[in-house]
Amino acid sequence: MLDALVWALALVLATLARFDFQPGPANESGLLAATLIAITLQIGIGLALGLYRRRYHYGSFDEVQALALSIAAVGVTLTVVARLFGGGMVPRSVPIMAAFTALVLAAVVRYAARIIEEVGHRPESGKAKPIVVVGAGRSGEQIIRTMLGSESSPYLPVAVADDDPRKARLRLHGLRVQGTSADALDIAQRHDATAVLVAIPSIDSEALVRIADPLVDAGLDVLVLPPVEALLGHIGLADIRPVTISDLLGRHPADIDTAAIAEYVRGKRVLVTGAGGSIGSELCRQLQRYAPASLVMLDRNETGLHSVQLSIEGRALLDAPSIVLADIRDRDRLFGVFQAHRPEVVFHAAALKHLPLLEHHPVEAWQTNVVGTMNVLEAAEAAGVRRLVNISTDKAADPISVLGFSKRICERLTAAAAVASGETYVSVRFGNVLGSSGSMLTTFEHQVASGGPITVTHDDVARYFMTVEEAVALTIQAGAVGEAGEVLVLDMGEPVRIMDVAERLAAQAPAPVDIVVTGLRPGEKLNEVLLGADERDERPRHPLISQVRVPPLRFEEARAACTASGRLSISPATLEVASAWGLKVAEMTDVGDASVNA
């Protein structure tokens, strides 16, 4: 074994050094005995520590740590033996000197072997695409190591850039930091790189646009790593992907208090309505990471349930008790499900959400968004649910549409349920989620693929955007910080002008694409708001979550507002009345008082 030879050489060198490199005085038989003892001990201790059982990657920090521990143990043992023999075997100073020498020799050999191995596995410069990596943090170091350690890597890192002045002289795996992110184009041109990888999962959209725009204009490929919420464990080559419009619009990284989330999710029975939808399915994926006792996924869409089970479990047999096919409009069915599973935490994501469609079908908005939510709230209260999070929308702030009216009613119904149950029932309000089914961006991409035109309702229309991963992460966080009856409003950054998005997509299209302005539709605002005119932006618990009190509204009152001549009459006008029913009274009454709107 290599370490046996190292010990033999180290003891000889230490003995020679002890006698000023004069071999005469040395006790050769004692030196041989010491060598045999050292080799035997090294093999035994090394096996016990896993050094010779392929437990560690060759030349890794963990292996060198185990190596140092084994050599130290051997050195101490030899020192004790030398003292017992009174220096008759070897001088008492030799074991310590030999241990240091053996450690250096063994570490150097391992390091050299690792360098040879890594060089042999590097991608060929003629086949791999030269790439500049922006970001010298942990993610950047991991992805550079991965690229350099894989012969099949399509990328060969040639330089690094980072904005931290403390890393100006840093080297990562032989690559020097050669400037900041603003220098990425110049660095790429100096190294003939054809691509730039932004290896900063926590980067926000504004910073990403600042880096990406000049690179794209110069014809370079811009690549990114997924947001922090989407990364699991070690970063690999499969995580590298081209930058998308979603990245440039919707990245709003946030500090997530995983301990607070774990406290109310881990070990609890959790139920998600609308689990097959864009928000609901992402909720299920993220909640699963916090190890709930059970996760019940409820939806009326069997295809959506199939997809979410496949994404979480890698199988989609649809035969598990946790997969529930049910419609929130069906009160009796919903009560049966809640009684059977007895959830402790509920996320209510089931809803109709397409604004122009609901303008034409307000009855459907009433039946699903209002009656369905009331069914969920009553079933939750009957089953003893301790915490419920109702997913709302920015359309509920100063609403002018059927969708907005219906979701505003739901926020108030949730506040009333919090009063009645005495439990933590809250709503979470946010804007457009990128990549969700039927979203603006999905529509634009389909229009571009079809050759156009891209349809925009107004030159100056603007919207808030956030990626689904980040919106859901903040939603789960909001469930931890919200107080009973509150609406938690997510900070979604600055609104984005839709025409700018359309023009960017049109510019990237393989063929010319026209942009057509169609005009605002009924119920559509030019600019959305996240907070109503009478709501204050207060953030006592989290810098990206506003906590707003809303006046409670009982279902009977909402129904009464929509009743004319003894009959239920659902229309945009009656829903507007219901959403504001008793509001002036409620504003003057303590929200925590159960007699509100009585």
What is the structure's pLDDT at 585?
Answer: 38
Residues of 139-152 as b/e, b for ≥16 C-beta within 10 angstroms?
bbbbbbebbbebee
pLDDT(586) > 50: no
Q: Within 13 Å of residue 124, how many CA atoms lie on the same side as its CB?
A: 2
In angstroms, the CA 379 to CA 138 distance is 46
Return the closest-CA partner of residue 428 out of 389, 396, 464. 389
Q: Which H/E stretch holds residue 404?
A: helix 402-421
In angstroms, the CA 346 to CA 423 distance is 12
Integer Rg of the chain from CA: 32
Question: Dihedrals φ, ψ of 312, to 5°?
Answer: -95, -45
Question: Residue 241 gets which letter from DSSP?
Answer: E
Comparing 18 with 528, which gets the higher pLDDT? 528
What is the structure's pLDDT at 587?
Answer: 39
What is the structure's pLDDT at 284?
Answer: 97
The fraction of the chain above a pLDDT of 70, given in percent, is 91
pLDDT tens per residue across span 144-160: 988 888 777 889 999 99
pLDDT(58) > 70: no
Return the closest-CA partner of residue 134 out of 107, 110, 161, 158. 161
What is the structure's pLDDT at 591?
Answer: 35
What is the structure's pLDDT at 123?
Answer: 65
Q: Which H/E stretch holds residue 479?
A: helix 468-481
Lowest mean pLDDT, pick from 237-246, 272-281, 587-596: 587-596
Model confidence band, residue 59 (pLDDT cutoffs 50, 70, 90): low
Q: How many CB atoms lie within 10 A of CB 258?
A: 15
> 356: buried, middle or exposed (CB in 10 Å: 19+, 13-18, 0-12)?
middle
pLDDT(111) > 90: no
* Matching residue, tokens 């504003």: 587
Mean pLDDT score, 530-547: 91
pLDDT(164) > 50: yes
pLDDT tens per residue across span 412-461: 999 999 999 999 999 999 888 887 777 788 889 899 999 999 999 999 99
Q: Which residues pair with 242 in a beta bridge?
A: 223
> 449: buried, middle or exposed (CB in 10 Å: 19+, 13-18, 0-12)?
exposed
Return the closest-CA partner of residue 230 out of 246, 209, 214, 208. 246
Lowest mean pLDDT, pick from 5-9, 150-154, 304-308: 150-154
The distance between the two most distant Cα atoms of the chain, rounded to a whole number of Å, is: 120
Q: Which residues contact 78 (CB under 8 A, 6 or more apart)?
A: 34, 37, 38, 41, 90, 95, 98, 99
Return the closest-CA partner of residue 8 out of 46, 40, 36. 36
Q: Quote the pTM value.
A: 0.72
What is the structure's pLDDT at 507?
Answer: 84
* Matching residue, tokens 């191995």: 117
Mean pLDDT of the chain: 87
In angstroms, the CA 367 to CA 237 distance is 47
In angstroms, the CA 52 to CA 63 distance is 10
Strands (E), 518-584: 545-549, 563-564, 567-568
Structural tokens at position 424: 């933590």
Structural tokens at position 343: 């959830």
Q: Which residues contact 100 (CB under 8 A, 6 or more apart)?
A: 75
Return the closest-CA partner of residue 492 out of 247, 250, 164, 264. 250
Mean pLDDT score, 394-408: 96
Question: Dihedrals φ, ψ of 170, to 5°?
Answer: -70, 145
**What sign does the CA torsion over 420, 424, 430, 433 have?**
negative
In DSSP notation, 545-559 reads EEEEE-----HHHHH
Return the closest-CA partner of residue 437 out of 304, 247, 298. 304
Domains of the chain, CATH where assigned: 1-121 (no CATH), 129-243 (3.40.50.720), 258-433+465-493+528-554 (3.40.50.720)
Conformational region of residue 399, where left means phi above 0, alpha means psi within -120 to 50, and beta covers everything else: beta
Q: Are strands 424-429 and 387-391 parallel, antiparallel or unpaired?
A: parallel
In DSSP notation, 139-202 reads HHHHHHHHHHT-TT-SEEEEEEE-S-GGGTT-EETTEEB-S-GGGHHHHHHHTT--EEEE--TT
Q: Which H/E stretch holds residue 43?
A: helix 28-48
Model confidence band, residue 229 (pLDDT cutoffs 50, 70, 90): low
Lowest mean pLDDT, pick from 148-152, 311-315, 414-418, 567-571: 148-152
In angstroms, the CA 543 to CA 540 distance is 8
Say if CB 141 and CB 177 are below 8 A apart. Answer: no
User: For the chain, first and last CA: distance in Å?
Assistant: 86
What is the structure's pLDDT at 510?
Answer: 84
In angstroms, the CA 455 to CA 60 distance is 56
Mean pLDDT score, 2-27: 78
Question: Dihedrals φ, ψ of 323, to 5°?
Answer: -100, 115
Comparing 20 with 472, which gets the higher pLDDT? 472
The fraction of the chain above a pLDDT of 90, given in percent, is 52
Q: Helices then strands (H, E): number in the chain?
A: 22, 23
Question: Dihedrals φ, ψ of 396, to 5°?
Answer: -80, -10
Alpha helices in 85-154 (DSSP H): 94-121, 138-148
What is the structure's pLDDT at 517?
Answer: 96
Structural tokens at position 319: 């035969």
What is the structure's pLDDT at 418?
Answer: 97
